[in-house]
Amino acid sequence: MSLLSNLLTPPKQKSKQPLKEIFFATLIGISGLIAIAFWSVIFVLIVGVDILTDPLWGLLLTSLAFCMGILTIFLFYMRRTNTPFTFLDINFPTWRDVFYIIAGLITLFSILLIIGILFTYFGVETTSHSVENIVSSSPEIILLLIPISLLLVGPLEELLYRNIIQKSLYSSFSPIGSIFISSIIFSAVHISAYAGDSLFQNPLPALNALAVIFILSVIIGIVYYQTKNIVTAALLHGIYDSIIFAVFYINTTTDITATISSLLLF
């Protein structure tokens, strides 16, 4: 059976309340964002530093808040729905998984390059990830963001948005439908990272950036569906972000100008 026919396979039992399923999935996704904000406030109050003026503390506290926020919602979902941990697709990557990671990376950066060319040609503006403001003034922090992307951001985001949200939709929607819905939720929760200072005056650049995130997210969703291994998706996600950071570090600290000039991160 071809990849396309696999993705279009209808669910075994069509949901009688698809809007309710979408609402619940969206609620889980947004709750992750709210939980991260909650833990950020808690840690800032405990430590008593201004994360806006201290980049290193800001990075450490936001990373810790990110971990606690995602894990809070993940554990809440598992307990609330009585989902066993066997539901999690955590397996050591096979050679087939490695192939999908390599193919996924080639696809992600090919799409990013093509979109970049088209956006430049048509004069389409996008915003960059908010972390760019931090690393631009303190590029050495990028060296910390690379392992954080590989070990924390990639695994935890994929755990919640792919293994929980996307997989939970399989019973009600086709695989491609589940991937599209989870990718919409995934890109939407990144609005705070790409909002910029002029979101309400001109929201189009931020929406353009989120559209790119959606497309890239679909690719990772397909890789996860094909491999049935969240470790594969986490590695693909983490390596992608790490390469973006590495290229940005080269751009910032050397005279070499790489193709990727802005941060489009998941």
Lowest mean pLDDT of 9-18, 102-111, 122-131, 210-219, name the range. 9-18
Q: What pLDDT sits at residue 129?
A: 78
- Which pLDDT does position 157 carry in this prediction? 96
Look at residue 167 in the predicted model and tell me its pLDDT.
95
99-103, 174-178, 223-227, 244-248: least confidently modelled range:
244-248
Mean pLDDT of the chain: 87
Please state the rounded mean pLDDT for residues 9-38: 87
Is the model's pLDDT at 59 over the cut of 90?
Answer: no
pTM score over 0.85: yes
Q: What pLDDT score does 238 carry?
A: 96
Of residues 28 and 203, the one with the higher pLDDT is: 28
Task: Output the 3-class SS for the chain.
Answer: CCHHHHHCCCCCCCCCCHHHHHHHHHHHHHHHHHHHHHHHHHHHHHHCCCCCCCHHHHHHHHHHHHHHHHHHHHHHHHHHCCCCHHHCCCCCCCHHHHHHHHHHHHHHHHHHHHHHHHHHHHCCCCCCCCHHHHHHHCHHHHHHHHHHHHHHHHHHHHHHHHHHHHHHCCCCCCHHHHHHHHHHHHHHCCHHHHCCCCCCCCCHHHHHHHHHHHHHHHHHHHHHHHHCCHHHHHHHHHHHHHHHHHHHHHHHHCCCCCCCCCCCCC
- How high is the pLDDT of residue 196? 66
**pLDDT range class, residue 261, cuts 50, 70, 90:** very low
pLDDT of residue 54: 73
Please state the rounded mean pLDDT for residues 82-111: 96
